Amino acid sequence: MNLSNNQPNQPQTKGTKSLLLRILTNLTFWVLIAIIAGVLLGTYAPATGIKMEIIGKSFIDLIKLFIAPIIFLTIVLGISGMGNLKKVGRIGMKSLIYFEVVSTISLAIGILMAVIFQPGKIDKSGLQLQDAAKYTSGPAKEFSWIEFFMNNLTLQVLVVAIIVGVCLNFSKHRERAIAILSYMSKYVFMGLKYVMYLAPLGAFGGMAYTVGKFGLDTLVPLAKLMGTVYLTMGLFIFLVLGSIMRYYKMSIWNFIKYIREELLIVLGTSSSESALPSIMQKLEKMGCSKSVVGLVVPTGYSFNLDGTSIYLSMSVIFLAQLYGIDLSVIEMLSIIGILMLTSKGAAGVAGSGFIVLASTLAAVHKIPLEGLAFLLGVDKFMSEARALTNIIGNGVATIVIAKSENEFHPPLEYKEQMEQNLVEQELLYQN
């Protein structure tokens, strides 16, 4: 009797347990919990929160150990496996053209939104100033490609990997070398898989330090700037990148959902580098060929920083508005031109964004360099938006190049999900 009464409840109980188990074993869930815990600790025990910096930095440093070998192995295997050096050159050229076009659009959007919303038209008296001397003291440096290359490990590994990959194509030991490198790649990615289990700790440490060090109250005077930056980056992702994805019959929502784990890690650590190795792996699983992923993603981390471009252009206009300086259309166009060059130096070095801003302001000759002090306190809270936009932008770039080269072959289940999402989007637009 009891058995018969309990039987109908068994599937429901089993389903509930299964759902709970999926949630508790999902890395995304624990990263989200860690971010919330970090915010709470930084808010209510800021001194302790600041001490958590070591945890966040250690996780990022650990991930950085994997960046060089993963980029090297992926590119060498991709190029040597492709066997067509003309195609490698074509992919590289397409990538650079795409990066320049999209980065220029992001710079223009940043300026346009700053002009429309005027985030700098606020009372300066309530702002907390920090020392910007290390960015403003001394003569402004001109952009140097040599210095950019020497300070950018990702770019150095990229160049070496391309040379090795090309040389392997002409070697009689090519097949043996590919077998050895494939074996090494398997274990490097296996090691990365286990390190990623520490992601919640990294997210917790990064968020606790940020909130503890700078405090949520620093956002109030510059809330308008914060809101404009996040709104602009949201519009760029869903309108510009979303339109590009729709052109290739794909959904930006579906892609964001697919990489949500990486996005939460980036959100917690404020660094797009923390998700570089795993985003490369995800793009391969999604259907992009190893050669395209290996060439486009590392190059994008140096040349396709869409979020950083938006932030830089918006910051220049913000400071001009803050000091009551009117910029002509010609001057705004010149700012875009200057940033098209200097923004390429905003990768690979901590604090380089402010150095780029300082050199841009120095070139404009109208906006005081000391204005950077107004941005220092709130910059850390906007770095999340920059990092998130950068990683999404590089993911979209990889998909675009892969599709244009017929190097995109998604697994059946992902293809079905993409088609379903596109149908749902069409219905949403119709309504």
The predicted-structure confidence for 84-133, as pLDDT tens digits, reads as follows: 678 888 888 898 899 989 989 999 999 999 999 998 887 666 565 555 55
Whether 347 shows a pLDDT value over 60: the answer reads no
Range of the domain at 347: 25-430
Whether 162 shows a pLDDT value over 90: the answer reads no
> What Cα–Cα distance (Å) separates residue 263 from each residue in 26, 106, 258, 303, 396?
14, 20, 10, 20, 14
Residues 6+ apart with CB under 8 A from 157: 67, 68, 71, 72, 298
**Alpha-carbon span 352 to 247, nearest angstrom:** 34
φ/ψ region of 387 (left if φ > 0, alpha if ψ in -120 to 50, else beta) reads alpha
- Region 1-13 average pLDDT: 48
> What Cα–Cα distance (Å) separates residue 240 from each residue in 106, 119, 321, 331?
9, 22, 26, 25
Reported as a pLDDT band with limits 50, 70 and 90, residue 142 is: low
Q: Is position 285 within any domain?
A: yes
Q: Is position 271 within any domain?
A: yes
Q: Is position 210 within any domain?
A: yes
**Alpha-carbon span 209 to 53, nearest angstrom:** 5
Q: Is position 152 within any domain?
A: yes
Whether 428 shows a pLDDT value over 60: the answer reads no
pTM for this predicted structure:
0.78
* 239-283 per-position pLDDT tens digit: 999 999 999 989 999 999 999 989 988 888 877 777 888 898 899
- State the CATH number of the domain containing residue 31: 1.10.3860.10
**Alpha-carbon span 121 to 106, nearest angstrom:** 22
Q: Is position 294 within any domain?
A: yes
Whether 218 shows a pLDDT value over 80: the answer reads no
What's the mean per-residue pLDDT of the chain? 80
Q: Is position 170 within any domain?
A: yes
- The count of domains in the chain is 1
**Alpha-carbon span 347 to 370, nearest angstrom:** 23
Q: Is position 120 within any domain?
A: yes
Q: Is position 195 within any domain?
A: yes
**What is the crossing angle of helices 199-214 and 372-404, to 10°?**
150
CA angle 295, 71, 155 (to 5 degrees): 70
